[in-house]
Amino acid sequence: MISQLFVLSQRGDNIVFRDYRGEVQKGSAEVFFRKVKFWKDDEDGDAPPAFNVDGVNYFHVKVSGLLFVATTRVNVSPSLVLELLQRIARVIKDYLGVLNEDSLRKNFVLVYELLDEVIDFGYVQTTSTEVLKSYVFNEPIVVDAARMANLGPAAIFMQGTKRMPGTAITKSVVANEPGGRTREEIFVDIIEKISVTFSATGYILTSEIDGTIQMKSYITGNPEIRLALNDDLNIGRGGRSIHGYGSSYGSGTVILDDCNFHESVQLDSFDIDRTLTLVPSDGEFSVMNYRMTQEFNPPFRINALLEEAGSFKAELILKVRADFPSSITANSILVQMPVPTYTTRVSFELEPGAAGNTTTDFKESSKRIEWGLKKIVGGSEHTLRAKLTFTQEPHGNITKEAGPVSMTFTIPMHNVSRLQVKYLQIAKKSNSYNPYRWVRYVTQANSYVARL
Amino acid sequence: MSGHDSKYFSTTKKGEIPELKEELNSPYKDKRKDAVKKVIAAMTVGKDVSSLFTDVVNCMQTENLELKKLVYLYLINYAKSQPDLAILAVNTFVKDSQDPNPLIRALAVRTMGCIRVDKITEYLCDPLQRCLKDDDPYVRKTAAICVAKLYDINAELVEDRGFLESLKDLISDNNPMVVANAVAALAEIQESSSRPIFEITSHTLSKLLTALNECTEWGQVFILDALSRYKAADAREAENIVERVTPRLQHANCAVVLSAVKMILQQMELITSTDVVRNLCKKMAPPLVTLLSAEPEIQYVALRNINLIVQRRPTILAHEIKVFFCKYNDPIYVKMEKLEIMIKLASDRNIDQVLLEFKEYATEVDVDFVRKAVRAIGRYESIIATLCESLDTLDEPEAKASMIWIIGEYAERIDNADELLESFLESFPEEPPQVQLQLLTATVKLFLKKPTEGPQQMIQVVLNNATVETDNPDLRDRAYIYWRLLSTDPEAAKDVVLAEKPVISDDSNQLDPSLLDELLANIATLSSVYHKPPEAFVTRVKTATQRTEDDDYPDGNEAGYSETPSHAAGASPPNSSSSAYGATRQSAPAPAAPAPAAPVPDLLGDLIGLDNNAIVPVDQPATPSGPSLPVVLPASTGQGLQISAQLTGQDGQIFYSLLFENNTQTTLDGFMIQFNKNSFGLAAAGPLQVPPLAPGASARTLLPMVVFQNMSAGPPSSLLQVAVKNNQQPVWYFNDKILLHVFFTEDGRMERTSFLETWRSLPDSNEVLKEFPGIVVSSAEATLDRLAATNMFFIAKRKHANQDVFYFSAKIPRGIPFLIELTTLIGNPGVKCAIKTPNPEMAPLFFEAIETLLNA
């Protein structure tokens, strides 16, 4: 069980501190922060999420730039503690709308009240916002959403098209709208993080999709909801060998390696028609997580060519091609590549018309070049040329001293797995009852790497 | 200007408390609420607002739950420092515990349990009794946890009032939240008690498995972890259990998944059908891999666990090696673990793939990771040639030096070793010293292995470079040594340079099997993350920190602890069950003649009642009581400071019991203690708590110890070297003896059949025998009881000729068992002791312990 729980700012300030058992000394937050800060004396690696100092075990996770920490003296389940810390962050965000130092400080009484209901004597009681609502009485003081920082994957919908209600994700699930009436709406986000490793020749070495169907409901009265997924969805790669007809899967079939579900999800009809039934609780939660290694069409192809060009010089050509429909636009693209450590200067040459859309930079200290693009329209190709100047002759094969090329991006309204929410049905209270439903897709790069 | 500022500052400071006081007594509810909020705000930033205690407590009688909660929060914080005032709140607490609103009832009980003030605790019992049977599940689940709180404050009270039984009843409650909390509370109580309190029978098992399906995710973890202690009777039961737990693998909560994996792995040990096992392995793989899609923190925990699992059951993830390939954005701690697992999963089938992957890592930015990757590659001799291709890309000196070492070491297997080395020789003068040294050695090795023309020329160049053209003395000296050796006696040079190297145990090799067993039993706990047995880091001493921190229990010792003095004089030290007979070595104040065959049942009874008292580090000065301890540092050696000490064991925790007597003319303070490396890695779990000692005063303390912290190498020895210092005297060193029976664990009992099997399975070379001609066993019963009290468990007895033969089992941490045979003629001198153990090097230590125990 947990002895203490505290939240620290990035500078190590104590924002929230709750002691549940009085068996760990008071200075633990300081001990913890010093240990984490000076882990290896430098940024050479982060402190692992669980470690022991003088008989006290410290667990921590980072959420929105805050450190959520728990201490214990006993041999607890570490995944329980770490998962709990994530959930506490989520519950607080559900309540406050925005999770940051400012909102925590403004609402500390509420936060303490929450922490007292979430944990008793070090034992988790509940982390469901829905359940907590009946025990927690403080009202959140909502801080200005305009000043908030990182919001996680769904944040993309903030900048997206106008149809997206921008305030959705920063809205507290308990606080009332200024108008006094909450809008009946529900958000279902299909978020896919993809990892691809290309070999030097462009061949796909590994590829993986980590997906989540995330839900956030502002519907009153908790009606039952049905989510229908692709009806030919298959689970378990083992299935292939059972049927023995590997080729019988058409291109339309989606095969998941594994998936798991939120505890509120009823799977009675899932095996039959791939529908999920649930009564969504308040707050944000993952209805389903899935993992897929089935081959898919990677949204970007990366082509890198690095060649020596005379003594102490080399030329680099980076090409990125967007392999998705032209109706879709990726944004926040950043391509990075380490160059040989003896590189002193890099001069870039942009393609015509790229000016407003592109940034380039050579990070002297980490010997990396960065190429940023605001937008890439599906089907288009972009090229960056760069001249590298060295202080010495390369040791041999220059490509072994540079790379790999890595890339981050976000593609709204596109998912590579082809998993779909076919429909979202809400049990009707009356004929006129028709809440807003938002089903949104987003693809993000996790580890998207091309080797040289 | 500064004058103005400071004036402003001091007025607020002076005015804040009275201002709040006024607001707290305002007739307006809202104003009072705001005031309490301000008080709490001040409290959380560390300001002392304890002077407002009375005013805040006055706000407690309110129907407003929000306000009530705030007042309760305040009370929890300050009741300890204001125990007398806390009494003011008692009436309201008791009244609230009968409020019609269940939230208020629960809140009252929850808060009372958090206030560790005896007077409050006394009044807690009745409300708690009612709440355990409340109609509302929220109240019952809160009451269940409250029993654990009370047990932590006063275990005796919990047992006397029958709360344990009520708690056990709650296991059958119809509300799963209540069941989960009852399980959690019972598990905690069991953890701190040596008696069986929460035993899982097949009946509770089936009840809990049913509750599992309805519980919240967290409750599922409590239940799964509690059930993991259950030993199924046979393969069939194990299969049944597994079948009911397997659906948990689909849970979105990682903690549920890992706890389910633990449970399944444990039951799998019993399952005999290979089909079932294979099928289970297949089912566990995808969820385990899915854990790697979670946040990096969870991934880390999962990887540390997978590392253990694949050592026992490599097949589970044998085909999944790709999922452990590092992502470029993985935190370094995740990358390191993935690398470890890839090494463990590497096989003939996937080695090419793995090595190619490792090769990519050699260009990563993080130095430690690169080093590890290169070292991992070095493990596979077969690929040295491939490896050498990437030689020119290494520019990190250490990696380069390692590679050059490999070329020299395996020169005979690398066809173009001479070419490779030669390419380096050109830049010899520019290389960093560590690379130069390796180049020198590697070239000499090459020459000795392939004394052909090419290498001969190379050696000339190198020796010249390393002697005449360098000012590095290390390099020059090494070069001269080689030169002399080569020119005088090439054969001797071979012996020296190519000497057979001891096999270096590899840091990431498989774990010691008995440790692996123990860690696997601890999957899904911290132990499996640290890869250390729990006793090496768990330091939770039931009461130690709490009681030493606050000395504000003026009358706290009245109730349960009054028996201490009567036992202090007795021969049987009441401080622990397992060390009850440890104090029989030469004791400083000669102990009263030990009563032969102490009335053991009574003793045990007392021991339970005295649990609390015994662990309290008695740092109230000048009243040392308790068992007498052997003198380890006589006053004559310690310039007037006398230290008596002994290791004791209790409830699986080891303590160093110390008595300090100050016979000097000055006050001694600032006591500190340190232990030298020893065979059991014993070390202090916390700082030594000794108050300043006035002349003539003495103090007693119990220092919690951890094991496996600073292990010494070599054969096991009972020597414990201790250093103690204080601010006034020089550092004192003394030797103490580690008696093995302190480590005997409570799970050392063996069934008769498994005893026989184990005995037979161990080779005869593992049997060690010793005779104690002087020892007399006068009563078999008393001896058996005494041995049982130290966790040496009686198994069977038989007659052999006219002698009695007794069999016992015992176990020390890391699961090392001892099977013991004692042969003696009751009432006559002479005891023969034969033991069998997988670790016979421990035998001498064992005999020392048994001699002490039998002599008692």
Contacts of A44 in chain B (CB under 8 A): 332, 366-368
- Please, are residues A316 and A394 in contact by the beta-carbon 8 Å criterion? no
For testing contact with chain A, the best of B69, B289, B291, B305 (most A CBs within 10 A): B69
Q: Determine the pLDDT at residue B686.
A: 83
Instruction: Find the residue in A nearest to B322 (Cα).
Output: A206
The pLDDT mean for chain A works out to: 85
Tell me if A97 is assigned to some domain.
yes
Do residues A22 and A113 both lie within one domain? yes
Decide if A65 is inside a domain: yes
Return d(Cα A168, Cα A151) in angstroms, integer. 12
Q: Name the strands in the sheet holding B653-662, side by side, starting at the edge strand that comes first in the sequence.
A: B631-633, B641-650, B653-662, B698-706, B683-684
Q: How confident is the model at residue B394 (pLDDT cuts 50, 70, 90)?
A: low
The H or E element spanning position B640 is none
Question: Which tens digit of pLDDT belongs to each residue from A302-318?
Answer: 999 999 888 889 999 99
Does domain B14-232 fall into CATH 1.10.1740.10?
A: no
Using alpha carbons, select from B98, B101, B32 the residue that is nearest to residue B71.
Answer: B32
- Split at pLDDT 50, 70, 90, the class of B309 is very high
Contact A174, B102 (CB under 8 A): no
Strand (E) or helix (H) holding A290: strand A283-292
Beta bridge partners of B547: none
**Which of these three, A100, A132, A164, is where a domain ends?**
A132
Q: Do A171 and A200 fall into the same domain?
A: yes
The confidence score (pLDDT) of residue A164 equals 38
A1/B188 touch (CB, cutoff 8 Å), yes or no: yes
Q: How many CB atoms lie within 10 A of CB B20?
A: 20
What is the mean pLDDT of the segment spanning B712-716?
A: 79
Query: What backbone phi and psi angles, to 5 degrees, belong to B759?
Result: -60, -45
CA distance to partner chain B, nearest, from residue A356 (Å): 28
- With b for 16 or more beta-carbon neighbours within 10 A and e for fewer, the B766-778 pattern comes to bbbebebeeeebe
Instruction: Kindly give, in sequence order, each residue whose CB lies less than 8 Å from that of residue B820, ignoring residues fewer than 6 positions away.
Output: B792, B807, B808, B809, B810, B833, B834, B835, B850
Taking residues B808-820, what's their average pLDDT?
Answer: 88
Shared-domain flag, residues A444 and A393 = no
The CATH class for the domain spanning B744-855 reads alpha beta
Q: What is the mean pLDDT of residues B127-147?
A: 95
Q: Which of A330-334, A448-452, B757-761 has the lowest mean pLDDT?
A: B757-761
Average pLDDT of the segment spanning B803-813: 89
Helices B83-96 and B118-132: crossing angle in degrees, nearest 10, is 10
> What value does the mean pLDDT of chain B take?
81
Mean pLDDT of B660-673: 89
Q: Is residue A101 domain-resident? A: yes
Tell me what pLDDT residue B1 has. Answer: 44
Range list of H helices, A55-155: 78-96, 101-106, 108-118, 129-132
Q: According to the model, what pLDDT value does residue B289 have?
A: 94
Q: Is the pLDDT of residue A377 over 90?
A: yes
Tokens of residue B851, six digits: 């001699």
CB distance from A208 to chain B under 8 Å?
yes
What does each C-alpha distance from B223 to A2, B171, B173, B189, B219 come to in angstroms?
Answer: 17, 10, 14, 15, 6
Cis upstream peptide for B287 (omega within 30°) = no
Q: Are residues A274 and A335 in the same domain?
A: no
Which chain B residue has its CA at the smallest distance from A341's CA? Answer: B395
Residue of B nearest to A108 (CA): B41
Please answer yes or no on whether A263 and B217 come within 8 Å at the CB atom.
Answer: yes
Q: Is residue A266 part of a domain?
A: yes
Q: Name chain A contacts of B29, Cβ cutoff 8 Å.
A: none
A132–chain B Cβ distance below 8 A for any pair = no
Spatial neighbors of B770 by CB under 8 A, at least 6 apart, are: B832, B833, B843, B847
Section B261-276 average pLDDT: 92
In the predicted model, what is the mean pLDDT of residues B452-478?
A: 86
Residues of chain B contacting A366 with CB distance shorter than 8 Å: 365
Q: How many domains does chain A have?
A: 3
- Note whether A116 contacts B: Cβ–Cβ < 8 A: yes
Separation in Å, CA of A17 to nearest CA in chain B: 8
Out of B110, B295, B686, name the one closest to residue A120 (CB): B110
Pairing of strands A436-450, A123-124: unpaired
Whether the per-residue pLDDT at B163 is higher than 50: the answer is: yes
Residue A155 is predicted with a pLDDT of 53
Give the pLDDT of residue A310: 84
Q: Do A112 and B184 touch (CB under 8 A)?
A: no
Residue A157 has pLDDT above 70, yes or no: no
Other Cβ atoms less than 10 A from the Cβ of B641: the count is 22
Of B616, B34, B333, B648, nearest to A138 (Cα)? B34
Structure tokens at B221: 């973890």
- Tens of pLDDT, residues A124-153: 999 998 889 888 888 888 776 544 444 455
- pLDDT of B504 > 50? The answer is no
Q: Is A13 on the interface with B (CB under 8 A)?
A: no
Mutate to test the interface with B, among A75, A110, A198, A343 (most CBs of B within 10 A): A75
**Are A282 and A419 within one domain?**
yes
More confident residue, B65 or B625: B65
Q: Which residues contact B516 (CB under 8 A, 6 or more apart)?
A: B308, B311, B312, B510
- Closest Cα to residue A138, out of A91, A174, A182, A105? A174
Identify the CA nearest to A62 among candidates B590, B286, B125, B297: B297
Within this chain, do residues A281 and A306 fall inside the same structural domain, yes or no? Answer: no
Residue B491 one-letter amino acid: E
Do both A435 and A402 map to the same domain? no
Interface test with A, best of B146, B328, B330 (most A CBs within 10 A): B328
Residues of B in contact with A17 (CB under 8 A): 44
Amino acid at B70: L
- Domain ranges across chain B: 14-232, 575-738, 744-855
φ and ψ of A334, to 5 deg: -135, 125
| Binding-face residues of A in 23-52 toward B, CB within 8 A | 23-25, 44-50, 52
- Residue A117, chain B, CB below 8 Å: the answer is no
Any domain includes A141: no
Among residues A132, A161, A188, which one ends one of the domains?
A132
Distance CA B796, CA A173 (A): 66
Q: What is the pLDDT of residue A165?
A: 36
Measured between beta carbons, the chain A residues lying within 8 angstroms of B546 are 22-23
Structure-block tokens of residue A447:
């580890």
Strands lying side by side in the sheet with B793-800: B767-776, B829-836, B816-824, B803-812, B793-800
Rg for chain B, CA atoms, rounded: 33
Check which CATH number belongs to the domain holding A42 and give it: 3.30.450.60
Residues A401 and A393: beta-carbon distance below 8 Å: no
B298:A289 CB<8 A = no
B282–A73 CB contact, under 8 Å: no
* CA triple B739-B192-A113, angle to 5 deg: 140
CB contact under 8 A, B525 and A76: yes
Query: Which pLDDT band holds residue B391 (cuts at 50, 70, 90)?
Result: low
Residues 6+ apart with CB under 8 A from B122: none
pLDDT at residue A291, as a whole number: 93
**Are A187 and A272 part of one and the same domain?**
yes
Distance to chain B for A434, nearest Cα, Å: 30
| DSSP string for residues in A389-416 | EESS---S-GGGGS--EEEEEEEET--S
Mean pLDDT in residue range A65-80: 95
A263–B287: do the CB atoms touch at under 8 Å?
no
Contacts of A45 in chain B (CB under 8 A): 331-333, 366, 368
Closest to B365 (Cβ–Cβ): which among A17, A86, A338? A338
Give per-residue pLDDT as tens, B553-600.
333 333 333 333 334 333 343 444 443 333 333 334 444 444 343 333
State whether A137 and B69 contact (CB < 8 Å): yes
* Contacting residues of B for A84, CB less than 8 Å apart: 218, 255
Judge whether A140 lies within some domain.
no
A234 and chain B in contact, CB less than 8 A = no
| Strand, coil or helix: A107 | coil
B308-312 long-range Cβ contacts below 8 angstroms, 24+ apart? B308/B511, B308/B516, B308/B519, B308/B520, B308/B523, B308/B528, B308/B531, B309/B261, B309/B265, B309/B520, B309/B523, B310/B341, B310/B344, B310/B345, B311/B344, B311/B510, B311/B511, B311/B516, B312/B265, B312/B516, B312/B520
* pLDDT for residue B619: 40
B227 backbone dihedrals φ, ψ, rounded to 5°: -70, -20
Residue length of chain A: 452
B297/A396 touch (CB, cutoff 8 Å), yes or no: no
In a domain, A320, yes or no: yes
Specify the DSSP class assigned to residue B500: P
B398, B434 Cβ separation under 8 angstroms? yes
In this structure, the answer to whether residues A171 and A256 fall within a common structural domain is yes
Confidence band for A374, pLDDT divided at 50, 70 and 90: very high
Same-domain status, A164 and A252: yes
Spell out a b/e string for B174-189, using b for 16 or more CB atoms within 10 Å of the CB, else e: ebbbbbbbbbbbbbbb
User: Which residues span the domain enclosing A433?
Assistant: 153-296+414-450
Q: Which residue blocks in A226-302 are alpha helix, DSSP H?
A: 238-243, 270-273
- Residue B83 near residue B554, CB atoms below 8 Å: yes
> Which residue of B lies nearest to A51 if distances are taken between CA atoms?
B530
Report the CATH number at residue A374: 2.60.40.1170
Q: Please tell me whether residues A70 and A54 are part of one structural domain.
A: yes
pLDDT value for A177: 53
Given a cut of 70, whether residue B55 has pLDDT beyond it is: yes
pLDDT band of residue B509 (cuts 50, 70, 90) is low
Query: Are A329 and A299 in contact, with CB atoms under 8 Å apart?
Result: no
Nearest CB partner across the interface for A289, out of B258, B293, B331: B293
Interface test with B, best of A15, A18, A79, A293 (most B CBs within 10 A): A79
A82 touches chain B (CB under 8 A): yes
The pLDDT, as a whole number, for residue B240 is: 93
A74–B66 CB contact, under 8 Å: no
Q: The dihedral of CA B77, B81, B83, B84: what is its sign?
A: negative
Examine the pLDDT at A108 and tell me if it is beyond 50: yes
Of B296, B332, B527, which is closest to A75 when you measure between CB atoms? B527
Residues of B in contact with A127 (CB under 8 A): 218
Split at pLDDT 50, 70, 90, the class of A43 is very low
Question: Helix or strand or coil: residue A152?
Answer: coil
CB contact under 8 A, B255 and A77: yes
Q: Is the domain of A393 the same as that of A441?
A: no
User: Where residue B390 falls among pLDDT bands split at 50, 70, 90?
Assistant: low
Q: Which positions in chain B touch A195 (Cβ < 8 Å)?
A: 327
State residue B706's pLDDT score: 85
**CATH hierarchy code of domain B575-738:** 2.60.40.1150
CB contacts under 8 A, A 83-112 vs B, are 83-84, 86, 108-109, 112
Q: CA-to-CA distance for B251 and A403, rounded, in angstroms?
A: 39
Q: Considering only alpha carbons, which residue of chain B is nearest residue A18? A: B44
Our measurement of the distance from residue A183's CA atom to the centroid of its chain's CA atoms, rounded to an integer in Å, reads 27
Q: Is the pLDDT of residue B617 over 60?
A: no
List the single residue in B44, B177, B252 with the smallest CB-CB distance to A260: B252
Report yes or no: A188 and A229 within 8 Å, Cβ to Cβ: no
Which of the two residues, A293 and B651, has the higher pLDDT score?
A293
Number of A:B CB contacts under 8 A?
A: 225
- Spatial neighbors of B535 by CB under 8 A, at least 6 apart, are B652, B653, B654, B706, B707, B708, B813
pLDDT bucket at B276, cuts 50 / 70 / 90: very high
Contact predicate B699/B713, CB 8 Å: no
B147 versus B694: which is more confidently predicted? B147
Nearest-5° Cα angle at B447, B443 to B451: 160
Is 60 exceeded by the pLDDT of residue B187?
yes
* Pairing label, strands A255-256, A234-235: parallel
Note whether residue A21 is domain-resident: yes
pLDDT of residue B383: 58
Contacts of A29 in chain B (CB under 8 A): none
Q: Give percent of chain A with pLDDT exceeding 70.
A: 86
B417 CA: distance to closest CA in chain A (Å): 18
DSSP A38-50: TGGGSSSSPPPSE
CA of A75, closest CA in chain B: separation in Å? Answer: 5
Q: Which chain B residue has the Cα nearest residue A397?
A: B393
Name the residue among B110, B127, B115 with its Cα closest to residue B86. B115
Find the CB nearest B534 among A17, A45, A75: A75
Q: Using an 8 Å Cβ cutoff, are A174 and A282 in contact?
A: yes
Enumerate residues 6+ apart whose C-beta is below 8 A from B374: B362, B394, B399, B402, B403
Most confident stretch, A176-185, A219-228, A338-347 = A338-347
Confidence of residue A123 (pLDDT cuts 50, 70, 90): very high
The number of beta carbons lying within 10 Å of the beta carbon of residue B475 is 20
CA of A236, closest CA in chain B: separation in Å? 8
Amino acid in the structure at residue A303 = N
Q: Beta-carbon neighbour count of residue B3 at 10 Å?
A: 7
